Structure 1
Amino acid sequence: MEKIRQKNLPAEERRNVTVEAVIDLAATTNPSDITTAAIAKHMKLTQGALFRHFPNKEAIWQAVMKWVAERLMSRIEKAAEGLDSPLEAMQAMFLAHIAFVSEHPGAPRMLFGELQGAKATQAKSLARALLKQYAELLNELIKTAKSRGELPHELDNQAAATLFIGTIQGLVMQSLISGDMDQMRRDAPGVFAIYRRGIACTGTAKRDE
């Protein structure tokens, strides 16, 4: 019955199901080892059926990166929406990002895999664009926090944004290594509190030197 249902999916839904299948596989498999045969098997389809919606594997990977970028940015932007304090918005984004990864552990593995690859692919360009968009959003929040006195004017905006993203990546990597994705959710509030104190005290530390 499942196989019949999959065959009758509309084209756009089939593409989305394929993307989700790749992310599911990436949660337990090195992304570079995922073949189109493995994807088709996971979906209970033939490779021929898979290629009716994607011309090649690169097109699938491109669709995966687009899916990750759109959903992650939507999640963090929605989390920050309506919060007057920039720092509270950053905390909401931090926790929303961790929640997204906890729900889709294959997503960061696909992202890291593309960024670490030597080849210049469209999927890699999308991954880089995601990080750039993310950093720009953080930079605007940090600027606003400075203007409102929540953060010291001496704070390096780019360094603070880089540390924010890097802190999340560190939590993700530790959870992937340990195999305990729920550990991220437990650790995230305390880790963000340390990050927040660190960027808030930057100006004081410089004046004391």
Structure 2
Amino acid sequence: MTTRTRQKNLPAEERRNVTVEAVIELAASTNPGDITTAAIAKHMHLTQGALFRHFPNKEAIWQAVMQWVAKRLIARIDKAAEGLDTPLDAMQAMFLAHVAFVSEHPGAPRMLFGELQGMKQTPAKRLAREMMKQYGARLNRHIEAGKARGELAEDLDSQAAATLFIGTIQGLVMQSLMSGDMEKMRADAPRVFAIYQRGIASAENGE
């Protein structure tokens, strides 16, 4: 059976997931704003008509992409942090898991950045913002727990620390996207987190 035949025989839900993955693959090397439904269909060896049997329009595809990214990234960081001994251990695991996710799916942050920078209030943009809100809430819980345990500085601004955590990852991502070397980001991540950790740790736990 050829790849094209397998594509045509996929169940509807699997077809939608394959479409989302195709968009993320395209976004790794193409400006997301320039990705058309024709380009998606061509990448998948389908007609646009076949694509629109599963999505009513391009906006629905973008919404599905953001749902895919949000679900998998949040699940990845939750699993990484689960069962660890200290809040700071959990934060480090989340940091490294997030970097690993982006390294595996470089089109995902390009899609996310594209949506958040756009002026239009789309369903995809609302999903992206909700994901960032959920992410920040998780970080805030770990930071507050770390302060309560004396692991993090008592006077630490939790909101600023969460913002810096996410911003540090975004900086790594942007540098990797510009250089085209996603593996360097994974190699740099432990050293970068160590610097972040020294900035938020209590005096007793700082290096």
Shared fold by TM > 0.5? yes
Residues 11-30 of structure 1: matches in 2 within 5 Å? 11-30=12-31
Aligned residue for 1:9?
10
4+ residue stretches of structure 1 with deviation over 3 A? none
Question: 1:14-93 maps to which residues of 2 (within 5 A)?
Answer: 14-93=15-94
Q: CA deviation at 1:201?
A: 5.3
Report the TM-score, using the length of structure 2 for normalisation.
Answer: 0.97
TM-score (norm 1): 0.96
**Is contact 2:102–2:108 with CA below 8 Å preserved after alignment?**
yes
Q: Is the 8 A contact 2:140 2:159 kept in 1?
A: yes
| CA deviation map 1:143-199 (0-9, x unaligned) | 100111101110000000000000000000000000100110010000000000011
Deviation at 1:128, TM superposition (A): 0.4
Give 2:104's aligned residue: 103
State the partner residue of 1:207. Answer: none
Q: What does residue 206 of structure 1 align with?
A: none
- Distance between the aligned counterparts of 2:3 and 2:149, measured in 1? 55
Q: State the Cα distance separating 1:202 from its structure 2 match.
A: 8.2
Contact 1:73 / 1:134 at 8 angstroms: preserved in 2?
Answer: yes
* Cα RMSD (Å): 1.3
2:127 counterpart SS class = helix
Task: Quote the Cα distance in structure 1 between the aligned partners of 2:199 and 2:144.
Answer: 16
Match of 1:174 in 2: 175
- 2:84 is paired with a residue of what secondary structure? coil
Aligned twin of 1:188: 189
Query: 1:84 Cα shift?
Result: 1.8
State how many pairs are aligned: 204
Task: Give the letter aligned to residue 132 of structure 1.
Answer: K
Q: 1:202 to 1:138 in 2, by over 3 A?
A: farther
User: Percent identity of the aligned residues?
Assistant: 78
CA apart distance, 1:77: 0.3
Instruction: For 1:117-132, list aligned pairs within 5 A.
Output: 117-132=118-133
| Equivalent residues of 2:151, 2:202 under 8 A apart | no
User: CA separation in 2, counterparts of 1:91 and 1:43?
Assistant: 37
**Aligned-partner Cα distance in 1 for 2:120–2:147:** 39
Q: Secondary structure, in 3 states, of the residue corresponding to 2:67?
A: helix
Q: Is the 8 A contact 1:155 1:202 kept in 2?
A: no
One-letter amino acid of the counterpart of residue 38, structure 1: A
